[in-house]
Amino acid sequence: MTKIKQSDIERMIGQIYEGLSLERKDGWEESYRELSRMLSSGPGSLHFYLRRQERFETLADTNEPGFIEEFNAKYFDMMPYKNNIAGLKPGEIFVRSAALPDSEYRELELYRDHFKEKGIFHVAHVCLIENGDAAAGVTFTRPETMQPFSDEELEALRVLTPHLQRAIRIRIEIAEKIERERLLTRSLDKLAQPVIIADAFGRLYFQNGAAEPYFGDDGIFNLGPKGIINCYRAERTGELRTLIEGVTSFPDLAVRSVGGVINLRTRSSDRPVAVLVSPQSETDANTGAVKHYAMMLISDPTRPLPSLNEDLMVIYGMTKREAELSILLADGLSVNDLSDRLQLSRHTVRTHLKRALQKAGTNRQANLVKFVLGLSGIRSRDGKES
């Protein structure tokens, strides 16, 4: 068996962190395969163990296709040492022979009928971190024809464990940040209010769907070189740029004064569109540096807000009929009233309402009524009809 050199361990540490620079699964795959080669391992994986579901989700593995699915469905429950693995604390290493002697393992149906042909006899497993109900871990195996993992190899694994732990934590933070940004983007895209975000240089960083009509031939903005936001009426661009620089260069002052407002006009209308410019900040997950942005909220009297039906369809994903029934329910109509008014069977009305409740995230009609009345109240305060 190849002796593990200090240079091998140092190179492996570099490989672990290099894998983080790739926002693809390939980074973990390469790191795990390199680690497997260093430890002369057979089939194994870098994974999350979901305790409640009692299943493994892999980040990287060297198993044959379909093995993990088969393992989750059948093999895990057959392992006499499954509780040993499930009960590990972060940093602890499990070696199969310490929990189950080789002679007993050879007699297991699990080994004779399944693991033997796959070359899984010696097993070393490390619990890396716990994250809620999940635990990240890494597993290495060897066939019976090879020697067990040596003390030297296990020690090398202990040296590498803190780096694997840190890499997993960083990856989780990156994934959570990406998901938060996706959630924010999806939420902003559902708003009827046009929203635009620019960086400190006035470059377009984000726009929601409602803001798209305000760019282009019939809009109030156009994009210059490098995505710089310019006003359609060029003489107003300097004023817009001053507002953006003000809220990004002096965000604390801008917060106290809310930022500033600029009234702009489109090519086809002399009616002003009000643009509120306010500060937004974001901390860079890698460097800790705070980046400042300008959020622009557009108030356009020439473009009425969508109807309450459309709000329910966009915000909660309801169908036109589900939204209609929800609004009528909030108006005080009963299921029987709805059935008679819309010429629908009571069963059909209840089915539509049940789906509307699910989409609104509740199982009570009273809560659905509150949601609808809440939206209606917001629109009333904005001077719009519900």
- What is the tens place of the pLDDT at every residue in 131-182? 888 899 999 999 999 999 999 999 999 999 999 999 889 888 877 877 877 8
R_g (Cα) of the chain, nearest Å: 30
Same fold, 6-179 and 192-299: yes
pLDDT in tens, 93-107: 999 999 999 999 999
| Rounded Cα–Cα distance for residues 184 and 233 (Å) | 31
Beta carbons within 10 angstroms of residue 350's beta carbon: 15
Residues 50-90 have pLDDT tens digits of 888 888 899 899 999 989 999 888 888 888 998 898 889 99
In percent, the amount of the chain with pLDDT more than 70 equals: 89
Q: Which residues contact 89 (CB under 8 A, 6 or more apart)?
A: 127, 130
Domain 6-179 has CATH 3.30.450.80: yes
Instruction: Answer yes or no: pTM beyond 0.75.
Output: no
> In this model, does residue 20 exceed pLDDT 80?
no
What's the whole-number average pLDDT of the chain?
Answer: 85
Q: Is the pLDDT of residue 383 over 50?
A: no
Q: Are strands 122-131 and 93-95 parallel, antiparallel or unpaired?
A: antiparallel
According to CATH, the topology of domain 192-299 is: Beta-Lactamase (3.30.450)
pLDDT at 23 exceeding the cut of 60:
no
Judge whether residue 380 has pLDDT over 80.
no
* pLDDT of 123 higher than 80: yes
Least Cα distance to 47 among 65, 30, 29 occurs for 29
Q: Which residue has the higher pLDDT, 318 or 191?
A: 318
Structure tokens belonging to residue 97: 């022979």
User: According to the model, what pLDDT value does residue 252 have?
Assistant: 62
pLDDT tens sequence across 228-278: 999 988 899 999 999 999 888 876 654 444 468 899 987 777 778 889 888
How high is the pLDDT of residue 44?
Answer: 95
Angle at 298 between CA 245 and CA 360, to 5 degrees: 120
Interatomic CA distance for residues 10 and 159, integer angstroms: 10
CATH number of 308-381: 1.10.10.10
Return the domain boundaries, the chain: 6-179, 192-299, 308-381
**pLDDT for residue 36:** 94
Share of the chain above pLDDT 90, in %: 43
Which is more confidently placed, 364 or 322? 322
**For 34-54, how does the pLDDT look when each residue is reduced to its tens digit (9 = 90+)?**
999 999 999 999 999 988 888
Q: What whole-number distance in Å separates Cα of residue 372 and Cα of residue 69?
A: 44
66: left (phi over 0), alpha (psi -120 to 50) or beta: left
For residue 58, the SS3 value is strand
